[in-house]
Amino acid sequence: MRLGSSLLKPLLAVAAVLAVNACGHGSRSAAYPDFADLVDVVSPAVVNISAVTATPPSDSETAATEPAPSDNADEQVPEWFKKYFDNHPEVAPQAPEDNAPESQSLGSGFVLWNDGYILTNFHVVRDAKEVVVRLLDRRQFTAQVVGSDEPSDLALLKIDATDLPVVKLGDSGKLRPGQWVLAIGSPFGFDYSVTAGIVSAKGRALQTEQYVPFIQTDVAINPGNSGGPLFNLDGEVVGVNSQIYSQSGGFQGVSFSIPINVAAKVATQLKERGRVARGWLGVVVQEVDRSMAQNFGLDKPEGALVAKVVANSPAERAGFKPGDVILSYDGQVLASSTALPPLVGSSDPGQIATLDVMRERKKITIKVELGKLDAQQEAQADTDTQPPTTAPAGPLGLVVKPLSDAQRRDAQVVSGGVLVDTVGDGPALRAGVRPGDVLLQIGGQQVDSPQRLAEVAGRLTPGVSVPVLVQRRGAPLFLPMDVPQKK
Q: Are 71 and 9 in contact (CB under 8 A)?
A: no
User: What's the pLDDT at 246?
Assistant: 65
Q: Which amino acid is at 6?
A: S
Q: Are 310 and 379 in contact (CB under 8 A)?
A: yes
Q: Report the sign of the C-alpha dihedral through residues 324, 328, 329, 335, in that order.
A: positive
The rounded radius of gyration (Å) of the Cα atoms in the chain is 29
45 alpha-carbon distance from chain centroid = 28
For the question of residue 153 being annotated catalytic, the response is yes
Q: How many CB atoms lie within 10 A of CB 409?
A: 14
User: What's the pLDDT at 26?
Assistant: 47
DSSP assignment, residue 137? T
Strands of 301-359, DSSP E: 304-309, 325-329, 332-333, 352-359
Indicate which residue of 103, 149, 152, 153 is catalytic: 153
Q: Is there a common fold for 279-375 and 398-482?
A: yes
Domain 398-482 indexed as CATH 2.30.42.10: yes
Q: Report the sign of the C-alpha dihedral through residues 349, 353, 358, 362, in that order.
A: positive
User: What's the pLDDT at 408?
Assistant: 82
Q: Which residues of 165-179 are buried (b: 16+ CB within 10 A; e: fewer)?
A: bbbebbebeebeeee
Write the burial class of residue 474 (CB in 10 Å: 0-12 exposed, 13-18 middle, 19+ buried).
Answer: exposed
Indicate which residue of 226, 242, 246, 313 is catalytic: 226
Indicate which residue of 123, 149, 172, 437 is catalytic: 123
CA dist 76 and 62 (Å) reads 17
For the question of residue 347 being annotated catalytic, the response is no
| CATH architecture of the domain formed by 40-57+76-273 | Beta Barrel (2.40)
Containing H/E element for 241? strand 236-244
Closest CA to 402 of 382, 417, 415: 417
pLDDT tens digits in sequence order for the chain, 487 residues long = 444 444 445 444 444 444 444 444 444 445 678 999 999 999 999 999 999 876 543 332 222 232 333 333 333 333 333 333 333 333 333 334 445 456 677 899 999 999 999 999 999 999 899 999 999 999 999 999 999 999 999 999 999 999 999 999 999 999 999 999 999 999 988 999 999 999 999 998 876 667 899 999 999 999 899 999 999 999 999 999 998 876 566 677 899 999 999 999 999 999 999 999 999 999 999 889 888 888 888 999 999 999 889 999 999 999 999 999 999 999 999 998 989 999 999 999 999 999 999 999 999 999 999 999 874 433 332 223 333 334 444 678 788 888 877 788 888 887 788 899 888 888 888 888 998 899 998 888 888 888 788 878 878 888 888 888 998 888 888 988 888 876 6
**CATH class (in words) of the domain with range 279-375:** mainly beta
Q: What number of H helices and E strands is found in the chain? A: 11, 27
Q: What are the residue boundaries of the structural domains of the chain, listed by start? A: 40-57+76-273, 279-375, 398-482
For the question of residue 25 being annotated catalytic, the response is no
The three-state secondary structure class of 252 is coil
User: What's the pLDDT at 292?
Assistant: 84
**What are the backbone dihedrals phi and psi of residue 111, each rounded to the nearest 5 degrees, phi first?**
-80, 120
